[in-house]
A and B are shown apart, each in its own frame.
Chain A
Amino acid sequence: MRAQLTWRTLLSLVLGLLLLSPAVEAAVAMCRCSNSYTQLLGQLRSQANLMKDTSCLLEPFIRLQGLDTPVLRESCMKCSRAFPSEDTLRGLSRHGFLQTVSATLNGILHRLAALQQHLLKGKNMPEMQVATRNIQGVRNNIYCMSELLTNCSETPEPLLPGPRATLMPSTLNFFKSKLEGCQFLCGYHRFMGSVGQVFGEWGNSLSRNRRHSPRQALHKGARRARPSRRVKRPVPRGQLFR
């Protein structure tokens, strides 16, 4: 009995160390993927619906930067157009949609880091950290969903042109950077709303395939979406931070 316990402890220790290794991050994410399409879809919908809420990130940012005036707020709400529109997302196949969302979220992560550095000078904004972790969680779930679709012999598709470049801040003066950051966050929330809408239109059955958009052919060979490698410890798929 005692020997069994010792072996179990050792096994747990080894597994724990493996979990901490970035090299096995993807494998861990894959290992931890749910096989339940319904569960994954439900989580993605919930995450998207949560993250479209502007009170999670945009509003704190507006308050912190002193943009909470009618004129400035109006300007903030002219959301960045660097994000794929809802129609565009809707026109993609499931694979294409997932890859596009994942790539866009990756760009958002970079932009958030830049915002943190440029507009906040690295000072702590808890909402920004929570949003970052939520994005990583969505990306992991998207990865799992992609795996699930691939196993169901849906053909992987390329993603849309990387929005990363358009999501990066320009070297403007501080005021314009503020506005641009604000509009970016507005676009981020709107994008997540669109993602939630599209996920909402997905059927509850894995077998039902979506119609491919014409754009699909243009992006063959593009990389599939991968989960964030920035995550030292993969965020649990269903975990949401508020």
Chain B
Amino acid sequence: MGRPAAPARNPEPMAFFAVFRTAFLLAVLSWRTCQSEVLPERLPLTPESLHISINSTLQHLHLQWTVHKLPYQELQMIFQIEISRFETSKVIWMGNYSTTVKRNQVLQWSWESELPLECATHFVRMKSTVDDARFPELSFSSNWSPWEEVHAHTPEQNTDLIFPRDKLVEEGSNVTFCYNSGINQNISCYLDRELIHGEQLYLNIFTFKLNNVPFIREGGTNIYCAVNYTIKDGTVLFVSKVLEEPKDFSCETQDFKTLSCSWDPGVDTGLFFDGQPSQHYTLFESFSGKKKFCEHNNQCNWEISRDLQETYNFTLTAENYLRKRSVNTIFNLTHRVHPKAPDSIHFNNVGATNATMTWKMPALGNYSTLLCQIELHDKENMRQEHNVSIKVNGEFLFSELMPDTAYMVCIRCANAKHVWKWSKWVTRTLITAEAAPSKALDVWRKVKPEKGLHHVTLFWKPLSKFHANGKILFYNIVAKDLDKKSELKLQSIPAPANGTELTLDQGSYQIQVTANNSVGASPASEIVISGDSGNEEVEEQKINGTKDGFLISWKPLSEDRAGYVVDWCEHQRNLHCELQWKNVGPNTTSTVISSDAFRPGIRYNFRIYELSTEKIAYLVENKIGYTQELAPSDSPQVKAINVTSHSFTLSWKDYDTEAQRGFIQGYRVCLKSKATQCHLDSVAELLPDNSTCCEHAINNPKQKIFLVENLQPESFYEFFVSSFTSAGKSPIGTFTKVTTQDEHSHMLMHIILPMVLCVLLIAVMCYWKSQWVKEKCYPDIPDPYKSSILSLIKSKESPHLRIMNVKDCTPDTIEVVNKSEGTKTQFIGIEKPLTESEFPKPANLYLLPAQDFCVPGPCISFVNHTYSESACDSGSCAHTPVPDTAPPCHLELLASPDNLLNTLEKTHTDSLGEIPAGKISLNYVSQLASPMSGDKDSLLIHSPVPVLCSEYKMQMAVPSCLDSPVLSENGSLSSMTLLGQDKHYH
């Protein structure tokens, strides 16, 4: 429940009084001996004047008392103390306090209560016992002192219910609270949110104890009591974090003027409470005895005295209300030098390979020697490292630098005698000057002879930064004619370029290429183009590559050589060949060509050149290969030719074997047919669609034709040709279909074709000679002299029979007498036979058969206008020309008289075609006009009108105005139609 506090002590008496005391005690003892014989009762050494005070903050009862009538100057005594709470009978603590008591001394003793003292009235009493071996006769106990009652004072006695008020403890402590419920039976007390169940101490006094309290917040933990949500009282328990010992405490100087001490303070123990601000720190130096209160909680500056005290012993004390922690450090000042970073760093006399760096060390003066560490880095690595000792100013010469290179120079310094801490690194950039390129370009060429010229493409690899020594500005190309010795061609190619093209004649040229930067040119790189460069031809050799590249070997051409060059195109099929080359030494006859650009299924062509000592390149070998062969990506496009009844031929001559993804080793011809078994020279092959085919193997990649034999006529076949490499076959695509021919079809062709040709020939001949045949066989107007009749007549030799010559008479009328049999005449439009009686005026004859409404029967008349012109003029002519606008009798002109004539003739011929010879008899009354004389035109223009019969009229010219519009229309066939059939007019 409680524990005694340390008592307060009075000052010791002086030595003089000690001697006196001894004498006095001896006298008293003698006197006591005498008295004991006279007064046998005990001495009443009861504690008196007991005064009790309370320290609420510390929860201490502070007791003060005296012992009167002390028989000796001092006695060793034991005080038995009883403390009661609430009532004198409720003793809560009993204990002894042993001390040496001096006469008239005020004795003090404290007791710390766990329970807040404000919660209860306390009673204290005590009695004493002499426990002094010197005076065994005094070993008795006094009477108890009267009970002393004590009350804790509270500011608001009536309202404060909970104690202690605003208690500050350290994390992990135990705290006892009490509260007075007063008359409120429904009072509830809480610790933050938690309802507290207190232990009843006395009547309405309850208590509860918190063990190992944690830190919750800087604002403290609220403990309060309320009745029906009405706060009656509350208090705050402030729990502080435990003050930590400062860590990493150290001091150092950068200028020998100030020591800067720093440490890690750990947690902040400050609270929102006046009694516990953040902890503060004090620095104490024991040699000088100086002390400094630190303004910051993690560092403190200490001024170094002018006499430069050599050794320091510092004690750093951290302190808050509850605790104090200290750490110590002792050191020599020169061992705690932490220089500031170097400054004023400059580079002087910067050349291509060397430079001088200068710098200064601030603030340290000449008190100590400094060691400076210098590092030189390029982009990748540290190249140089140097240590330099200096006082204040430093200087260092860098050498063996690379031209035109950016270096990072880092420098830091520390005390040379005792390195405590290095200064911060300071970094500067040093860029060296440029120098002329140090290495000749790696140059190669490609020569293409054409029309007596050499198209030379030069390639070169850019110089590495290491060899370029600066930015390459341009490349110079000098071509010197070795035959003429003096002719020079100079080209300057601005950078960046890695090649150029030259056109040279077929002489020998020495070509020099140099790279140039701002300082100078690189050593020249030479190659020679001889007259026969580019014309070399060697046989291609196949090589096998691997994933790692190609192993290429060759045989030397000559003993006197400068080396070899192997070149190849990384992308062979591209238009722009990315020419790559590799230089090989003169004594090497094999090399491995590897490249990340190599891909499987790509054919690479390697050409090996031998370089003579004159820098002329001779092609040694030519090799082709794949890093990895793949199956062909496409199959040949095959044509079936020469299809017969028993065979056909397959051809794939367009298949480019060099473009495939591997060396083509041959072909497989797959043939499907209805036949269940394959021929002897083929094997059955199962296809992906589970069908089978007969596969013929061709193992010669150059054979691109295949004869398929032993087939059935008129049979259906399907075939497919695939190529194959070492990696496999090309994919199977669509089968091509072929049907063999009929076995006799060729014979039919042998017969039918000539026959058709003959017929055609005859037809052509007939057409060609049709006029002649017509004239011969079916003349329009038979020439009596040419008639075969004459031959008959002549053969009969009848003197009475002769042909009448027209010239012999002057007829004016021809009468055609239609015989009765002529009813069968197929005149168009004639629907019934005409009789002679139906022609009242048969003097005129129309050549053209009229429609039924025009003429009732065949009536042909020729009009001789020569004779009847006057009659027409007088208007007596009944058959004047009908205007061409008059429909149904409008006639169109034929395109030409010949056409018209032909048409008429044909129509007429057609119309009469079925008329047997002799059925129509013509009585030539007069025949003045030839059919070619233009009569037909007149006849056509003056189309038939609905009259019974036309008259024989005078001939006259057809007006052009009538010609033209009709001619503009296409009318030949129409006219024929008009003339003939179907009763239609066009």
- Listed in ascending order, the chain A residues whose CB lies under 8 Å from chain B are 64-67, 69-72, 74-75, 119-121, 123, 173-176, 178-179
Q: How far is the CA of A150 from the CA of B214 in the complex (A)?
A: 60
Identify which of A71, A75, A174 contacts B220 (C-beta below 8 A): A174
Q: Which of A70, A119, A173, A176 contacts B219 (CB 8 A)?
A: A119
Chain B residues in 8 Å Cβ range of A121 = 270-274, 277
The minimal Cβ–Cβ distance linking A117 to chain B, given in whole angstroms, is 10
> Taking the complex as formed, is B423 at the interface, i.e. its CB lies under 8 A from any CB of chain A?
no
A174 CB contact (under 8 Å) in B217, B233, B236: B236
B229 adjacent to A64 (CB under 8 Å): no
Q: Chain B residues near A66 (CB, 8 Å)?
A: 192, 216-217, 219-222
In the complex the two chains form, what is the Cα distance from A202 to B217 in whole Å?
A: 45
Say which residue of B190, B192, B219, B277 sits within 8 Å of A178 (CB atoms).
B219
Q: Which residues of A contact B165 (CB under 8 A)?
A: 173
A69 and B234 contacting across the interface, CB-CB below 8 Å: no
What are the nearest 8 A-B pairs in CB distance? A175-B234, A65-B219, A174-B236, A174-B166, A69-B193, A75-B231, A74-B229, A175-B236
Does B285 sit within 8 A of A, measured CB to CB? no
- Across the interface, B235 reaches (CB within 8 A) one of A69, A71, A75, A175, namely A175
Given contacts A66-B219, A119-B272, 7 further A-B contacts (CB under 8 A): A64-B217, A66-B220, A67-B222, A69-B193, A70-B229, A71-B229, A175-B224
**Could you tell me if B224 and A71 are in contact, using CB atoms closer than 8 angstroms?**
yes
10 residue pairs A–B, Cβ–Cβ below 8 Å? A65-B219, A66-B219, A66-B222, A69-B192, A121-B273, A121-B274, A123-B272, A173-B165, A175-B224, A179-B231
B218-266 contacts to A (CB < 8 Å) = 218-224, 226, 229-231, 233-236
Q: Are B222 and A123 in contact (CB under 8 A)?
A: no
Chain A residue, CB-CB nearest to B276: A121
Which chain B positions have C-beta within 8 A of A123?
218, 270, 272
Tell me how far the C-beta of B116 lies from the nearest C-beta in chain A, rounded to whole angstroms. 13
Contact B226 A71 (CB under 8 A): yes
Chain A proximity mask over B202-218: 1 for CB below 8 Å, otherwise 0: 00000000000000111
Interface of chain B, main secondary structure: loop
The reply to whether B236 and A71 form a contact with Cβ atoms under 8 Å apart is: no
What distance in Å separates the Cβ of B763 from its nearest Cβ neighbour in chain A?
106
Mask for B695-727, Cβ within 8 A of A = 1, else 0?
A: 000000000000000000000000000000000
Q: What is the minimal beta-carbon distance from B787 to any residue of chain A, in angstroms?
A: 127
Cα–Cα distance between A120 and B234 once the two chains are bound (Å): 18
The smallest C-beta distance from B561 to any residue of chain A, in angstroms, reads: 77
- Total A-B Cβ pairs within 8 A: 68
| Residues of chain B lying within 8 A (CB to CB) of residue A75 | 226, 229-231
What's the nearest-Cβ distance from chain A to residue B165, in Å? 5
Asked if B235 and A173 make an inter-chain contact with CB atoms under 8 angstroms apart, the answer reads yes
Number of interface residues of B (CB under 8 A): 28
| Residues on B with beta carbons closer than 8 Å to the beta carbon of A65 | 217, 219, 222, 272
Query: Which residues of chain A are near B222, meaning CB under 8 Å?
Result: 65-67, 69, 72, 175, 178
Question: Do the beta carbons of B190 and A69 come within 8 Å of each other?
Answer: yes
Provide the residues of chain A in CB contact with B190, threshold 8 Å. Answer: 69, 71
Which residue of A has the minimal Cβ distance to B219? A65
The prevalent SS among residues of A at the interface is: helix
Contact between B166 and A173 (Cβ–Cβ < 8 Å)? Answer: yes
Closest to A177 in B: B236
> Considering only CB atoms, which chain A residue lies closest to B221 in the complex?
A66
Q: List B contacts of A69 (CB < 8 A).
A: 190, 192-193, 222
Looking at the assembled complex, report how far the CB atom of B353 sits from the nearest CB atom of chain A, in whole angstroms. 49
**Could you tell me the distance in whole angstroms from the C-beta of B229 to the nearest C-beta in chain A?**
5
In Å, the complex CA distance between A108 and B240 comes to: 31
Nearest-CB residue, chain B, relative to A64? B219
**Are A176 and B234 neighbours in the complex by a CB distance under 8 Å?**
yes
A121 to B166, CA, bound (A): 15
Residues of A within 8 A of B220 (CB): 66, 174
Measured between beta carbons, the chain A residues less than 8 angstroms from B218 are 123
A178 to B224 CA separation, bound complex (whole angstroms): 12
Q: A71 to B226: give the CA distance in the assembly, Å.
A: 8
Question: Which B residues from 154 to 193 make CB contacts under 8 A with A?
Answer: 165-166, 190, 192-193
A67 closest partner in B (C-beta): B222
* Residue of A65, A66, A71, A119 contacting most chain B CB atoms (<10 Å): A71
- Smallest CB separation, B160 vs chain A (Å): 8
Nearest chain A CB to B620's CB is how many angstroms away?
Answer: 78
Question: A72: shortest Cβ distance to chain B, in Å?
Answer: 7
Q: How far is the CA of A70 from the CA of B224 in the complex (A)?
A: 12
CA distance A119 to B271 in the complex (A): 10
A174/B231 in contact, CB under 8 A: no
A123 to B224, CA, bound (A): 25
> Residues of B contacting A178 with CB < 8 Å?
219, 222, 236
| CB-based contact B231/A71 at 8 Å | yes
Question: How distant is the Cα of A15 from the Cα of B52 in the complex, in angstroms?
Answer: 70
Bound Cα distance A64, B216 (Å) = 11
CB distance from B705 to the nearest CB of A (A): 91
A123 to B278 CA separation, bound complex (whole angstroms): 11
A179 to B192, CA, bound (A): 14
In angstroms, how far is the closest chain A Cβ from the Cβ of B285?
31
Q: Measured between alpha carbons, how far is A217 from B216 in the docked complex, in Å?
A: 54
Residues in B neighbouring A72, C-beta threshold 8 A: 222, 224, 231
A69 to B233, CA, bound (A): 15
Which chain B positions have C-beta within 8 A of A120? 272
Residue of A nearest to B234 (CB): A175
A residues within 8 A CB of B235?
173-175
How far does the Cβ of A184 sit from chain B's closest Cβ, in whole Å? Answer: 16
**A70: which B residues are within 8 A, CB to CB?**
193, 229
A71 to B196, CA, bound (A): 14
Residue of A nearest to B230 (CB): A75
Q: How far does the alpha carbon of A19 sit from the alpha carbon of B234 in the complex, in Å?
A: 48
Closest to A75 in B: B231
Query: Which A residues are in CB contact (< 8 Å) with B270?
Result: 121, 123
Q: What is the bound-complex CA distance between A113 and B186, given in angstroms? A: 38
* A64 and B218 alpha carbons, distance in the complex (Å): 8
- Taking the closest CB of chain A, its distance from the CB of B910, in whole angstroms, is 110
A30 to B192, CA, bound (A): 49
Q: Which residues of chain A come closer than 8 Å to B193, judged between CB atoms?
A: 69-70
Q: How far is the CA of A67 from the CA of B233 in the complex (A)?
A: 14
A110 to B172, CA, bound (A): 38
- Within the complex, the shortest CB–CB distance from A178 to chain B, in Å, comes to 7
Q: Tell me, in angstroms, the Cα distance from A179 to B232 when the chains sit together.
A: 12
Taking the nearest CB of chain A, how far is it from the CB of B479, in angstroms? 61
Q: How far is the CB of A176 from chain B (nearest CB, A)?
A: 7
How far does the alpha carbon of A119 sit from the alpha carbon of B274 in the complex, in Å?
A: 9
Distance in angstroms between the alpha carbons of A65 and B219 in the assembled complex: 5
Interface centre among A69, A70, A121 (most CB of B within 10 A): A121
Q: How far is the CA of A65 from the CA of B236 in the complex (A)?
A: 10
Residue of B whose beta carbon sits closest to that of A176 = B234
Residues of A within 8 A of B233 (CB): 175
Closest to A71 in B: B226
CA distance A64 to B220 in the complex (A): 9
Chain A residues whose CB sits within 8 angstroms of the CB of B274 once the complex forms: 121
- CA distance in complex: A11, B224 (Å): 62
Question: A175 vs B223: C-alpha distance in the bound complex, in angstroms?
Answer: 8
Inter-chain CA distance A173–B234, complex, in Å, is 9
Q: Which of A70, A74, A121, A174 has the most CB of B within 10 A?
A: A174
